[in-house]
Structure 1
Amino acid sequence: MRIEQIKAFLAVNDTGSFGQAAKQCGVTQSTVSRQVQALEAHLGTSLFHRHAQAKLTVGGERLLPHARRICQEWEKVEEKMKELLQGEQPELCVAAIHSVCAYFLPPILQSFCRSFPQVQLRVTALGSDRALKVLRDGLVDVAIVMNNKYLTATGEMYVKPLYEEVIQVLVSKDHPLASFETTTIKDLVGFPQVIFKDGYGMQRIVQDLFTSHGFDLPVAMELNTLDAFRGVIRQGNLIALLPQSALQEAVLDPTLAVVSIALDSGLPLTRDVVLVTTRDRLEIPTVKNFFNLVYNQTQS
C-alpha cells in the first residue's frame, strides 16, 4: 500500500469521478485507475461502484475514515521532514568524553548558542565507547570521542580527526616518580594504577600499552571523573595515565605532579580525538552546522 494510492482513492471519492480525481492529483486518469486498482488488489475488495459517478462500495466506506486519517498523519510527517531539512530542529544532542566537555567544548557551545538561539543543546559526558553506542542507537546527534575503529569503521559513520593529545602520568608530589622528568612503561609497572571504567577509551589505551610491553596492568581502582582521579592520587602511592587536557588543573596543584612518558621509540604516548556523526544526520542543517563549527575550531 502506497500513500499515492490512498490519495487517489480519496480524490475519486471527493470528486465522484476518476477523470476529475486525475486533475486534482495532477496525473493522468489511467494513473488514478491503476492506483485505485492496486489498492483494491491489496485489500482484496472493490472500493467503488464504477457507474456514471463513482460511489463507494461497503469496503470503500469502511476504508474512508481510515484513509483520511492516514493522509492527515502523512501530511504531518511531510511537514516535520520539511522543518528538519530546513534546519528547524528544536534540539541537538551531543555526547563527548569528560575532558572535551570540560575544556574543549565550552567556547564552541557558546558560539553555537549565539548563532542558533532556537536550538536547545543537550550535552552528556560519556566514555568513548558508550558515546559511540548511543550515537549508533540514535540517542545523540554528534559524538566527540577517542577513536575506536572497531565502532567507527562502518559505512554509516562519518569521522573527522580533531587533534592528537599527549598522555602523561599523574602522581602525588611525594611519589617516587615525581622527581622523574620522563618515565618509561617499565618504571610504571611497580605502582598500582587508577584507570577509567570500562567503556572509556583511556582504559583501552592503558591496557593495550601494558599488554604490548608484556606486563600485567596493576589496577587498584576504577573511576570516571577527573576530580576523583586528582583526589585519590593526592593520597599516596597510586598513579594514573591521563591525557594532557585532563591534567590542566593538576599542573597548577602543588600537591600533584605530572610526568612525561617515553615509549621505546622515544616518542610520547598519545591519543586521537575524533568528531563523529552518521551520514544521514549530516544532511540535517542543524547537525551539519554544529559539526562544521567543532571541526573548524581545530583547523584555525
Structure 2
Amino acid sequence: MQAQQLAYFLAVAETRHFTRAAELSRVAQPSLSKQIRNLEDELGATLFSRARGNITLTPAGEVLLPLAQRILADMRTARREVQELTGMRRGLLRLGATPSLCGGLLADTLALFHRRFPGIELHVEEGGSRDLVRTMARGELDLALIILPLHSSDPALETRPLLRESLVVASSRDRPSPTSYASMRITDLAETPLVMFRRGYDLREATLQACRRAGFEPRLAVEGGEMDAVLRFVEAGLGLAIVPSMVLRNRPGLRGTPLARPRLSRTIAIAHRKDVEPTHTARMFWHTLTDHLGQLDDTELGADLEVIEVATHPRADT
C-alpha cells in the first residue's frame, strides 16, 4: 500500500468521478484507475461500486476512508515536524477555534506568535466546537480551542481546560430591556422568541438543554446562523440569544444580561489528538497561549471570564 494510492483513493471518494479525480491529482486517468485496482488487490476488497457510471464507496471503502485521511495527514505532520527542527524558520500551524474566540483571545495570541515566529504559516479554521472536533479527528488540525465537555461519541482527544466563561442573554439596545432586574432566570425566556445557532455549535446545545431542564421548549424566531449572523439578528430585534459574554465587546448595539437561575457558563479548552504528539510548532503556540493567559489582569479578562490554569502546556524547547 502506497501513500500515492491512498491519495488517489481519497480523490475519487471526494469527487465520485475517476476522470475528475485524475485531473485534481494531475495524473492520467488510466494511471489513477490502475493504482486504485492495485490498492484493491492489495486489500483484497473492492473499494468503489461502479454500477451504471455511479461511483459510490463500498462498505470496505467506507472503512478505509477515515483511515486513509489520517494516514496522509500524519505523513504531512511528520514532514512538517522535521522541517520545523530547522529552528522554527518555516512550518505550518493548523488551528481551529470557535467564532467567539477568533475575534478576541485567539487574535491577540496569534499576533504574539507571529511576531516571534514570522516564518510560520498560520491556517485558522473557524467553526462550531463539534465541527472542529470532527475536523481534528480527520487529522486536518494540529490544535483546536473547543468547548467542554466532549460527547461520548467524540474521538479520543487530549484536552486541557483554560478558561471558564459566563453565558449571557443578548438583546438589542434599540428594544426595551428583557427584564427590569440585573439578571434573568432561564424560565424568563419561555415566552420570548430566541435566535438560535446552526447545528454543530455548542451554544445551540447549551441553550436547548438549559431550556428543557427548566421545563419548556424554546420558541425560535430564526435558526441556523453563524455567530455574526446571530448577533446581527438580535440587533435587528428578531429575538434574544444566549451567547458568550466576550462576543458583546465592541458591539454597542447589544446588551448582555447575566443568567442567575441557573447561571450558565462554558469551559474553553485546548485539544489535540491523543494518538499523535503535537508538533513542535503546535507546542510553541500552546506555550505562547498559556503565557499570554498568565499575563492577563482582571481588567483585561473582565468579570465574566476566569482563567482556570495556565501552566499545563507541553514542554517546548525555545
The CA deviation at 1:277 is: 1.0
| Corresponding letter in the other structure for 2:164 | E
The one-letter code matched in structure 2 to 1:115 is R
Q: Counterparts of 1:142 and 1:244 in 2: how far apart (Å)?
A: 24
Is the partner of 2:106 in helix, strand or coil? helix
Note if contact 1:152-1:159 (Cα within 8 Å) is conserved in structure 2: no
Is the contact made by 2:129 and 2:200 (CA closer than 8 Å) also made in structure 1?
A: yes
Cross-structure match for 2:172: 172
1:243 equivalent in structure 2: 244
Inter-CA distance 152–96: structure 2 relative to 1 (3 Å threshold): farther
Residue number among 244, 255, 258 corresponding to 2:256 in the alignment: 258
- The alpha-carbon deviation at position 118 of structure 1 amounts to 1.8
Go from structure 1 to structure 2 and tell me whether the alpha carbon gap of 1:230 and 1:157 turns closer, same or farther (over 3 Å shift). closer
Distance 1:292 1:158, change over 3 A: farther
1:144–1:273 contact (8 Å) kept in structure 2? yes
Alignment of 1:285 onto 2:286: no
For the Cα contact (< 8 Å) 2:272–2:278, is it kept in 1? no
> CA separation in 2, counterparts of 1:206 and 1:167?
10
Task: Describe the shift of the 1:222–1:78 C-alpha distance in structure 2 as closer, same or farther (beyond 3 A).
Answer: closer
TM-score normalized by the length of structure 1: 0.65
Q: 2:289 aligns with which of 257, 279, 294?
A: 294
- 1:162 Cα deviation (Å)? 1.1
**Does structure 1 retain, via aligned residues, the 8 Å contact 2:199–2:224?**
no
Match for residue 115 of structure 2?
Answer: 114
What amino acid is the match of 1:166?
S
Is 1:87–1:285's contact at 8 Å kept on the other side of the alignment? no
Query: Is the 2:80–2:91 contact (alpha carbons within 8 Å) kept by the matching residues of 1?
Result: no
Paired letter, 2:157? M
SS in 2 for 1:179: coil
Amino acid of the structure 1 residue aligned with 2:237: G
Tell me if structure 2 keeps the 8 A contact 1:275–1:295: no
Say if 2:266 is the partner of 1:271: yes
Structure 2, unaligned stretches of length 5 or more? 2-76, 296-318
Indicate if the aligned counterparts of 1:162 and 1:275 stay in contact, CA closer than 8 A.
yes
Q: 1:116 to 1:198 in 2, by over 3 A?
A: same
Aligned equivalents of 1:134, 1:78: Cα separation in 2 = 18
Separation (CA, whole Å) in 2 of partners of 1:203 and 1:196: 5
Contact 1:196–1:222 (CA<8 Å) still a contact in 2?
A: yes
Contact 2:185 2:260 in 1 (8 A): yes
How high is the TM-score relative to the length of structure 2? 0.62
Partner of 2:212: 211
1:204-262 Cα deviation digits (max 9, x unpaired): 10011111111112122124444322322233351111110111133x33xx3321111
Q: Partner of 1:272: helix, strand, or coil?
A: strand
**Structure 2 counterpart of 1:31:** none
Whether the 8 Å CA contact 2:91–2:281 is kept in 1: the answer is no
Q: Which structure 2 residues correspond to residues 139-218 of structure 1 after superposition, within 5 A?
A: 139-150=140-151, 156-173=156-173, 174-175=175-176, 177-218=178-219
Q: Which amino acid aligns with 2:257?
A: V
Task: Please state whether the residue corresponding to 1:186 is helix, strand or coil.
Answer: helix
* 8 Å CA contact 1:97, 1:127 repeated in 2: yes
**CA displacement 1:167-214 (0-9 Å, x = unmatched):** 111112323515332111111110110111100110010011111111
Identity of aligned residues (%): 23
Q: Deviation above 4 Å: which 4+ runs of structure 1? A: 77-81, 84-89, 151-154
Q: Structure 1 stretches of 5 or more lacking a match?
A: 2-76
CA root-mean-square deviation: 2.7
When residues 196 and 287 of structure 1 are mapped into structure 2, their CA distance, relative to the original with a 3 A threshold, is same
Is contact 1:169-1:261 (8 Å) kept? yes
Contact (CA 8 Å) 1:193, 1:219: kept in 2 or not? yes
2-structure distance, mates of 1:176, 1:195: 19
Contact 2:168–2:259 (CA under 8 A) maintained in structure 1: yes
The one-letter code matched in structure 1 to 2:235 is R
Amino acid at match of 1:274: A
**Residue 83, structure 1, aligned to residue 83, structure 2:** yes
Between the aligned partners of 1:80 and 1:99, the Cα distance in structure 2 is 29
Superposed displacement of residue 284, structure 1: 1.9
| Conserved 8 A contact 1:85-1:284 | no
Partners of 1:111 and 1:198 in 2: how far apart?
33
Q: Following the alignment from structure 1 to structure 2, what is the Cα–Cα distance between the partners of residues 231 and 148? A: 28
